[in-house]
Amino acid sequence: MQTAALKSVDTESVSVIGDVVQGPAVTVLLRASKDADLLVVGSRGYGGFTGLLLGSVSTQAVHHADCPVLVVRPRPKAHAHETDGHHDR
């Protein structure tokens, strides 16, 4: 699954390393940030508080990582009237 995901991303000249590491997500990511130029995390996982802008892991990464952190939010889902080429103005 990881190999397929990495192949589907256009990384151009960016070096991307895919490692599978066991442990609590926050601990693993903060440890990885010590040797990284950039840490990229999703804005939130599958926790029960769906209204939050950032989840607990991304919040901890932003506040405690040893490198810059990029938080990626999902694209908003298109409404039916936006997918047929007719946009409200």
What single letter denotes the amino acid at residue 6? L
pTM of the model: 0.65
Residue-wise pLDDT for 27-64, tens only, equals 999 999 999 999 988 886 555 555 556 778 899 999 99
Give 23 or 81, the one with higher predicted confidence.
23
- For the chain, the average pLDDT equals 79
Of 60, 73, 1, nearest to 31 by C-alpha is 60
At residue 89, the pLDDT reads: 47
Half-sphere exposure at residue 68, Cβ-oriented, CA atoms within 13 angstroms: 3
